[in-house]
Structure 1
Amino acid sequence: MSETLPVPSRPAAPPAVPPLERRARVDLGAVRHNVRALRARLTRADGTAPRLMAVVKADAYGHGAVPVARAVLEAGADRLGVAHVAEALELRAAGIAAPVLAWLHTRDTPFAAALEADVALGVSSAAELEAVAAAARAVGRRAVVHVKTDTGLGRNGCLPEALPALAARAAALQAEGLVDVEGVFSHLAVADEPERAQETDAQAGAFAAAAGVLAAAGVPARVRHLANTPAALTRPDLHHDMVRVGLGLYGLSPFAGRSPEEFGLRPAMSLQTTLAQVKRVGPGQGVSYGFRFRTTGDTVLGLVPLGYADGVPRVAEHAPVAVGGRHVRAVGRIAMDQFLVDLGPDAREEVGDPVELFGPDSGIPADAWAEAAGTINYELVTRISPRVPRVHVDAAAPGDTGEGRA
C-alpha cells in the first residue's frame, strides 16, 4: 500500500510593495568605490598611508548614516566622524562598533552617554575639556579626546593663545587617568580653492605649531588630522596620520569646474520621481507663483511632484531635469510640493514617465541644481528632506572588484 505524502503548502507571497512616488536612490556600491578611489590617493611623506576617517554627519550628507557607515567600513575606512554626539549614538544603536569621533558640542551634549558608548570627543576649549572630564569621573571611564585647534577658520577650535593652558590641563587630567589625548585636528578654510595655496600653507604651519604645543606639554597627539576632501585629493603634504573625507565619499567634487570623474569618483545619489500631470497650454500661460515665467507659444507643461518641502531649492528656476530620458528645464518658481517643466510643443511624455532631477542615470550632476540655486553641491544633497524616502541599492560598476552587490 503506497503512502501518500502531504504536499507542503506554498508560503504566501509577500504583499507587493507599491512603487515609491518619489525617492532619493543611494548607490552603496558607488560609496564603496569612492572609498577605494580615495584610499588610493592617500600617502604620507614616509611612503605609508594615513588612516581614513569617513565623515557621516548630517545623515551622511543626506545619504543615510547607518547604511553608508556600514558601506564605508566594509570598503576600508578606518573610523567614522560626526558633528554631534547624537549622531554617534545613532550609529552605536545600529550596532556599529567602529571608532567614532564627535566634535561639535553644547552645554547640553550628553558626554556621559558618549563615553559609555565608547565615542571619542573633540575638545575645543577648556570649558569643554572640564565637562568631558566631569563625565569621565561620573561614569568611571577614561575619555578619548582630540584637541581641535583654530588655525584660522574662526569656528570652533582653541585659539593659539589659549592652547598652552588647555594643553597643560589636558596633561594633568591625563595623568589623573580621566582623559587620553589621542589626537589633534583642525579644519581648512580654502583647500577647495587651490589658487589660494598660501592661505592653506599658513593653516598648515599653525597646525604644526599647535601639535608642538601639545607635545611640549607632555601630551603628544598620536593622530594628527587636518586634510578634508579637497586636501585629500590635492595636498598629500597635509595627509599626516589621518584624513577626514566627507563630500568625496558621496562622489561629489569640492572643486568648481572639476567633475568627480576627474578624481575617479562616482556620484551616489539620484533624486527621482515621475510626471504627475501633463497639460497642453497656449501662449501667455502663467507658471507658478509670481508668474515669473509665462509661455511664449503653444507648449506642454509637465508637473513634477517635488518641491522645497522635499529639499528642492525654491530659487532653482531653469535647472535641468530629465523626463523620460530627455533633458528639459524647470520653469517658474519651485513650490512647496511641486514644480513645472516645459516639455515643448511636440512633447510626447505622459503621466508616470520617469523624472530625474540629478543623478548618474540622467547624467545631470547635483552641481547643476546647486548652480541654479546659487549654492554648492554639499547643501544640495544634505537638504533633501526626510519626506523623500532613501532607497539604498548596491551595484558594482564595470571594473569594480567585487565590493558592490546587486
Structure 2
Amino acid sequence: MNETAPLRARAEIDLAALRANVRSLRAHAPSAAVMAVVKSDAYGHGAVPCARAAREAGAGWLGTATPEEALALREAGLPGRILCWLWTPGGPWAQAVEADLDVSVSGMWALREVVEAARAVGVPARVQLKADTGLGRNGCGPADWPELVAAALRAEAEGLITVTGLWSHLACADEPGHPSIRPQLTLFREMVAYAEERGARPEVRHIANSPATLTLPESHFDLVRTGIAVYGISPSPEIGTPADFGLRPVMTLSASIALVKHVEGGHGISYGHHYVTPGATTLGLIPVGYADGIPRHASGTGPVLVGGKLRTVAGRIAMDQFVVDLGGDEPAVGEEAVLFGPGDRGEPTAEDWARAAGTIAYEIVTRIGTRVPRVHVKVNNELSG
C-alpha cells in the first residue's frame, strides 16, 4: 500500500510504539512472562503485524479469544505459545491440538471434547484450566473445581493432555482497592494450591490483566495477560494516562475532507436537524460514519482536529459520513482530519472519543471497521510488510 496515497480514511498503526509498550509492560512485571493479547484483530489494530511486533519486543505468549483467531496466527507463521480461551461445543479442537495451541477448559464438556480430539489425532493437548474466582463469566467455579481437576489429571496420566496452566480473570482490577480484588486473589491461590496438591504441575499460573499488570504486583504470578495496554491505551484512565504508565497510543485514525462549503445561518445539519448553524459558516464533510466504527452516540460531541483546530461533530453521525462546523475556515478538500491519535499534535485521543460516546477506549479502537485500511508503520515511518 502506498503510504502517501489519498485514502478516504486510514488507521495508521505505529508498530514502534507497540514494541515500546511491550517493553514497558515487561518492566512493570519483571518477574513474569508477558502475554500480548491480540484478540479481535489485535483490538482493531491488525492481529498478525501486531503479534509479530509484540514477539520482537519480548512477549513470550500471544493470546486470543477464539480458536479461529489463534489458528490464523499459526497459519501466518507465528511460532511459540498461543493461548485461546473462548470455546463452544464442536469447536476446532483437533486443529488446535495439531497446531500446538494452548486451549482453555472451564468445564467438563470442554475437557471431554479436547480429550477426544487428542485421542483422535494422537497428540497430547496443551490444556489450561480456568477458575472462576469471582468474575462470573467463563471459568470453573469452586464447587466444580475438584471434579474438573481430577478428570484433567486422569487424562494427563493417560498421556492425552498436559495441564500447562491454571488461570483466572479479575473483575475490577481497573478500580484499585476494589473490595473484590483481595478475595479473588485469595480464592485463586486456594484453587491453584488444590490442583497442585493433587499433582498439577502447570508451566504458568496467571490472573493479571492490563490494569493488574500496571497497578497490582502481587497478581503477576508467572504470566501477565496484557491487552489494551499493548496498544497504548490506559486501562484505568481515572488513575493514569498512557504516559503515566509508560505507554503510547498505537492507532491514529484520520480521514480526508470530502467537501467544504458555505452555508447561511439556520441551516440544519444531518438527519433530524439536531444541529442548526447559528450563523453563516463553512462546513466540512468527513467521509466516515458508524459503518466505519465511528460511534453514533458521539453525535454532537465527538472531537476532530481539522486545520490545526479542534472541531466538534455537528449533528448526527450517519452511516458513512458526518459534518463539522468550520466556523468560516476553508481547509482544502483532501486535507487530513484527525479523529484520534496519541495527542502529540493536539489531536483528540481514543479516550476523548470514549468520553464523548459514553463508553471506554477499548470499544473505540476495536470497533473501527474493515472499510478503514490499517497502515502498519515501523521505525522511521517505513511500512510494515
- Equivalent position to 2:26, from 39, 52, 74: 39
TM-score of the superposed pair, with normalisation by structure 2: 0.95
Report SS of the residue matched to 1:161.
coil
**CA contact 1:395–1:405 (8 Å) conserved in 2:** no
Alignment partner, residue 306 of structure 1: 288
- Equivalent position to 1:239, from 220, 226, 231: 220
Alignment partner, residue 326 of structure 1: 309
Which of 1 and 2 has greater Rg?
Answer: 1
Shift of 1:182: 1.0
Number of matched residues?
A: 381
Shift of 1:327: 1.2
Shift of 1:25: 0.6
Alignment partner, residue 132 of structure 2: 150
Q: Summarize deviations over 1:360-399 as a string: whole Å, max 9, x none.
A: 34431101111111110001100001111000001369xx
Alignment partner, residue 330 of structure 2: 348
**CA contact 1:88–1:102 (8 Å) conserved in 2:** yes
- Once residues 241 and 326 of structure 2 are traced to their aligned partners in structure 1, the CA distance between those partners, rounded to angstroms, is 28
TM-score of the superposed pair, with normalisation by structure 1: 0.91
Shift of 1:405: 9.1
Alignment pair present for 1:248 and 2:232: no
Report SS of the residue matched to 1:154.
coil
Which residues of 2 match residues 254-269 of structure 1 at below 5 A?
Answer: 254-257=235-238, 258-269=240-251
Higher mean displacement: 169-178 or 250-259:
250-259
- Once residues 125 and 185 of structure 1 are traced to their aligned partners in structure 2, the CA distance between those partners, rounded to angstroms, is 13
- Equivalent position to 2:94, from 81, 87, 112: 112
Higher mean displacement: 308-317 or 219-228:
219-228
- Equivalent position to 1:200, from 181, 188, 201: 181
Alignment pair present for 1:51 and 2:38: no
The one-letter amino acid paired with 2:378 is D
Report SS of the residue matched to 1:108.
coil
- Equivalent position to 1:224, from 202, 205, 208: 205
Alignment pair present for 1:81 and 2:63: yes
- Once residues 174 and 197 of structure 2 are traced to their aligned partners in structure 1, the CA distance between those partners, rounded to angstroms, is 32
- Once residues 267 and 80 of structure 2 are traced to their aligned partners in structure 1, the CA distance between those partners, rounded to angstroms, is 57
Shift of 1:332: 0.7
Alignment partner, residue 178 of structure 1: 160
Identify if the C-alpha distance between structure 1 residues 138 and 405 changes in structure 2 by more than 3 Å, giving closer, same or farther. closer
The one-letter amino acid paired with 1:187 is H
Higher mean displacement: 172-181 or 357-366:
357-366
- Once residues 6 and 377 of structure 2 are traced to their aligned partners in structure 1, the CA distance between those partners, rounded to angstroms, is 15
**Runs of 4+ that moved beyond 6 A:** 14-17
Shift of 1:199: 1.0
Shift of 1:19: 2.7
**CA contact 1:293–1:331 (8 Å) conserved in 2:** yes
- Once residues 16 and 193 of structure 1 are traced to their aligned partners in structure 2, the CA distance between those partners, rounded to angstroms, is 40
Higher mean displacement: 317-326 or 71-80:
317-326
Alignment partner, residue 189 of structure 1: 171
The one-letter amino acid paired with 2:34 is L
- Once residues 16 and 142 of structure 1 are traced to their aligned partners in structure 2, the CA distance between those partners, rounded to angstroms, is 45
Alignment pair present for 1:294 and 2:276: yes
- Once residues 160 and 273 of structure 1 are traced to their aligned partners in structure 2, the CA distance between those partners, rounded to angstroms, is 50
Alignment pair present for 1:134 and 2:121: no
Identical positions, percent: 51
Alignment pair present for 1:21 and 2:4: no
Report SS of the residue matched to 1:340.
strand
**CA contact 1:211–1:220 (8 Å) conserved in 2:** no
Higher mean displacement: 319-328 or 264-273:
319-328
**CA contact 2:124–2:162 (8 Å) conserved in 1:** yes
- Once residues 396 and 363 of structure 1 are traced to their aligned partners in structure 2, the CA distance between those partners, rounded to angstroms, is 21
- Once residues 309 and 337 of structure 1 are traced to their aligned partners in structure 2, the CA distance between those partners, rounded to angstroms, is 6
- Once residues 265 and 197 of structure 2 are traced to their aligned partners in structure 1, the CA distance between those partners, rounded to angstroms, is 75
- Once residues 262 and 2 of structure 2 are traced to their aligned partners in structure 1, the CA distance between those partners, rounded to angstroms, is 38
- Once residues 77 and 350 of structure 2 are traced to their aligned partners in structure 1, the CA distance between those partners, rounded to angstroms, is 32
Alignment pair present for 1:373 and 2:348: no
Higher mean displacement: 358-367 or 266-275:
358-367
The one-letter amino acid paired with 1:323 is V
Alignment partner, residue 212 of structure 1: 193
Alignment partner, residue 373 of structure 2: 389
- In structure 2, runs of 5+ residues without a counterpart are none
The one-letter amino acid paired with 2:369 is S
RMSD, aligned α-carbons: 1.9
The one-letter amino acid paired with 1:319 is G
**CA contact 1:30–1:396 (8 Å) conserved in 2:** no
- Once residues 250 and 15 of structure 1 are traced to their aligned partners in structure 2, the CA distance between those partners, rounded to angstroms, is 24
Higher mean displacement: 22-31 or 290-299:
290-299
- Once residues 299 and 144 of structure 1 are traced to their aligned partners in structure 2, the CA distance between those partners, rounded to angstroms, is 63
Alignment partner, residue 336 of structure 1: 319
Alignment partner, residue 9 of structure 1: none
Report SS of the residue matched to 1:315.
helix
- Once residues 93 and 297 of structure 2 are traced to their aligned partners in structure 1, the CA distance between those partners, rounded to angstroms, is 40
The one-letter amino acid paired with 2:360 is I
Q: Summarize deviations over 1:319-369 as a string: whole Å, max 9, x none.
A: 110112221111111000000011113x13121111110013443110111
